[in-house]
């Protein structure tokens, strides 16, 4: 049975339930499986399996300490009628290019796929561990994680969730979604700072001794809904298999045929899930890591140097405005052939010097990856061209990836990470229309493109604003303690 170990090698191995409850390992590392599990399926099976059935195969392999009937139940709840498409992640096909539409869930970004499942997994893990405490989720968000995490955890008994979002950079709709979140157990704060600062502050708090004393005293188990939590990563592996199954079903590929995968990337969770899928049997020929103007990863994959010492840019694909991609640490672990000493050193370099150099032999291990980046102007142009040529509307994040795609001989899954309606102002601008805010923006986009406003958004602007507080990074600890205190 697989267990989970820290990428930094200085924390004991834990079960998958424990890894989900803890989020981050005590040594600051990220949990990774100590061996690749074997999925109980063949590629030829995929075309006749439902999304939920594929999910069962992936979840049971990666979460072997959970009871199978519990996982069935969790999957039934996570992938039910809250999804606006029966296939959960349908494909939109244009020749060899297949958009994997990951945005049909409640908050209309791909993060719903994992965050509809995570609360179920956390509850099961707590039951398994005999944990009677309240569970508190603390999450930094670049916009979409916060809304999706709250949609998942809202009013779940014995849980609380606090979300920190950067005041600048998120879209009008994301702000409305967060500030109007009705769940009684939700706490939302705008932060003077960018996403990196929010993420760093949360990571620091997670390893702050004084904060741990507070949690101990209040009998609170802290966890994370960020993609550092394996409970987020594992549900994301499923959709790459599901997309592959649809390609077989459509007759585009034969079982076993290799595909390419292109992912608009921020914290590297989505890309890492694709890599994990390839390690447990999905035939992938090449991965393309697509960044916006915050192009740290492009330089990393092209030059072998990760250097976060550069200006943080607020772009029109804000969910990817990140300079420290947390999940890359998990890829480094495999690229260094599971050498936690090297990973620890690289992470220390990043912390102390703001950069690290990947050893040459590890660069060779990453030769299936290439990387590129897309400017904000090209994002707008790509949205316009894609709409003009294919009559297909894409959001700015998907456009970052689309701009880097060129048709080749292989079928390609391109992760389409958000609904264009979630970034209506940018999409309107791209189409040469006035970027009106609020409900009017949704209506304008609908009229301009003869598409319907998604039902998830129909009443969004009628919800009252409940969360207005804006804080500085210095105030995070006190604010979160006040929120979590009984």
Pinpoint the alpha helices (H) of 154-221.
Answer: 172-179, 195-206, 209-218
Tell me if 416 contacts ligand PLP by CB under 6 A: no
> How would you class 466 by CB atoms within 10 Å of its CB: exposed for 0-12, middle for 13-18, buried for 19 or more?
middle
> Could you give the angle at the alpha carbon of 230 between the alpha carbons of 229 and 231, nearest 5°?
85
Say which residues have a Cβ less than 8 Å from residue 131's Cβ, sequence separation at least 6. Answer: 21, 125, 221
* Residues 6 or more apart in contact with residue 471 via CB below 8 angstroms: 189, 190, 191, 192, 479
**264 counts as binding ligand PLP under rule CB under 6 A:** yes
Strands annotated E in 76-206: 91-94, 97-101, 134-140, 159-166, 186-191
Q: Is 160 in the site for ligand PLP (CB under 6 A)?
A: no
CB of 227: closest distance to ligand PLP in angstroms? 5
Does position 417 bind ligand PLP by CB under 6 A?
A: yes
Beta carbon of residue 75, minimum distance to ligand PLP (angstroms, whole number): 21
CB of 149 to ligand PLP, least distance (A): 12
Pick from 345, 424, 381, 435: nearest CA to 108: 424
Q: How many residues form the binding site for ligand PLP (CB under 6 A)? A: 17
Measured distance CA(26)–CA(11) in Å, rounded: 6
Determine the interface stretch with ligand PLP among 26-34, 263-271, 406-414, 459-467 (rule: CB under 6 A): 263-271
Q: Is 187 in the site for ligand PLP (CB under 6 A)?
A: no
Toward ligand PLP, which CB reaches closer, 112 or 260?
Answer: 112
Residue 107 binds ligand PLP (CB under 6 A): no
DSSP string covering 328-363, please? HHHHHHHHTTS-HHHHHHHHHHHHHHSEEE--HHHH
CA 291 and chain centroid, separation: 14
Closest approach, Cβ 163 to ligand PLP, in A, equals: 14
Residue 268 binds to ligand PLP (criterion: CB under 6 A): yes
d(CA 306, CA 300): 5
Sorted by sequence, the CB contacts under 8 Å of residue 345 that are 6+ apart come out as 356
Which residues between 117 and 156 bind ligand PLP (CB under 6 A)?
144
Residue 166 interacting with ligand PLP (CB under 6 A): no
Length of the chain: 486
Nearer to ligand PLP, 14 or 400 (CB): 400
One DSSP character per residue, 298-335 reads HHHHHHSEEE--S-----SSGGG--SS-TTHHHHHHHH
Q: What pairing do the DSSP bridges indicate for beta strands 470-471 and 220-223?
A: unpaired
Q: Give the range of 22-30, 211-219, 258-266, 370-378 binding ligand PLP by CB under 6 A.
A: 258-266
227 binds ligand PLP (CB under 6 A): yes
Using CB under 6 A, pick the residue from 32, 43, 56, 109 that binds ligand PLP: 109
Candidate list 125, 173, 319, 366; residue touching ligand PLP; CB under 6 A: 319
Span near ligand PLP by CB under 6 A; candidates 163-171, 181-189, 260-268, 343-351: 260-268
Q: Which stretch binds ligand PLP (CB under 6 A): 17-25, 28-36, 149-157, 268-276?
A: 268-276
Segment contacting ligand PLP by CB under 6 A, of 186-194, 259-267, 293-301, 361-369: 259-267
Query: Is 402 an annotated catalytic residue?
Result: no
Residues within window 270-299 making contact with ligand PLP, judged by CB under 6 A = 270-271
The one catalytic residue among 22, 47, 77, 111: 111
Instruction: Tell the burial category of 147 from Cβ atoms under 10 Å away from its Cβ (0-12, 13-18, 19+).
Output: buried
Among 18, 224, 267, 439, binds ligand PLP (CB under 6 A): 267
Q: Provide the CB-side half-sphere exposure for 187 (13 A, CA).
A: 19
Q: From the CB of 398, what's the least distance to ligand PLP, in Å?
A: 8
**Which spans of this chain sit near ligand PLP (rule: CB under 6 A)?**
109, 111, 144, 227, 264-271, 319-320, 397, 417-418
Q: Which residues have a catalytic role annotated? A: 111
């Amino acid at each position: 049975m697989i267990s989970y170990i820290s990428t930094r090698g200085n924390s004991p191995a834990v079960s998958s339930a424990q890894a989900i409850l803890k989020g981050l390992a005590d040594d600051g590392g990220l949990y990774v499986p100590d061996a690749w599990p074997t999925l109980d399926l063949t590629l030829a099976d995929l075309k006749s399996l439902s999304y939920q059935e594929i999910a069962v195969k992936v979840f049971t392999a990666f979460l072997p300490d959970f009871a199978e009937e519990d996982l069935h139940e969790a999957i039934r709840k996570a992938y039910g009628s809250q999804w606006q498409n029966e296939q959960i992640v349908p494909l939109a096909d244009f020749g060899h290019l297949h958009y994997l539409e990951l945005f049909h869930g409640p908050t209309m970004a791909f993060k719903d796929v994992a965050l509809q499942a995570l609360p179920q997994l956390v509850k099961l893990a707590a039951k398994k561990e005999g944990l009677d405490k309240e569970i508190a989720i603390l999450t930094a968000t670049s916009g979409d994680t916060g809304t999706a995490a709250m949609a998942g955890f809202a009013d779940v008994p014995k849980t609380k969730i606090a979300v920190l979002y950067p005041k600048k950079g998120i879209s009008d709709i994301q702000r409305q979604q967060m500030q109007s979140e009705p769940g009684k157990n939700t706490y939302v704060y705008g932060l003077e700072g960018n996403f990196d600062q929010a993420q760093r502050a949360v990571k620091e708090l997670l390893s702050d001794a004084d904060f741990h004393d507070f949690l101990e005293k209040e009998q609170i188990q802290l966890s994370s809904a960020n993609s550092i939590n394996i409970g987020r990563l594992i549900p994301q592996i499923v959709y790459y298999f599901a997309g592959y199954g649809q390609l077989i079903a459509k007759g585009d590929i034969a079982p076993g045929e290799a595909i390419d995968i292109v992912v608009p990337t921020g914290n590297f969770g989505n890309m890492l899930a694709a890599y994990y899928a390839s390690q447990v049997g999905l035939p992938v020929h090449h991965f393309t890591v697509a960044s916006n103007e915050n192009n740290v990863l492009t330089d990393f994959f092209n030059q072998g140097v990760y250097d976060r010492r550069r200006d943080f840019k607020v772009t029109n694909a804000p969910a990817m405005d990140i300079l420290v991609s947390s999940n890359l640490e998990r890829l480094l672990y495999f690229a260094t052939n599971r050498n936690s000493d090297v990973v620890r050193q690289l992470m220390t370099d990043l912390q102390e010097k703001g950069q690290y150099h990947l050893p040459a032999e590890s660069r060779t291990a990453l030769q299936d990856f290439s990387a590129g980046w897309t400017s904000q102007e090209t994002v707008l142009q790509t949205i316009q061209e894609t709409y003009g040529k294919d009559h297909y509307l894409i959001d700015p994040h998907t456009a970052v990836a689309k701009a880097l795609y060129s048709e080749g001989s292989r079928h390609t899954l391109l992760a389409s990470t958000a609904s264009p309606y979630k970034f209506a102002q940018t999409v309107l601008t791209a189409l040469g229309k006035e970027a009106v805010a609020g409900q009017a923006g949704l209506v304008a986009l609908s009229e301009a493109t003869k598409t319907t406003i998604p039902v998830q958004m129909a009443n969004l602007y009628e919800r009252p604003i409940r969360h207005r507080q804006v804080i500085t990074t210095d105030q995070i600890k006190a604010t979160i303690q006040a929120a979590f205190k009984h």
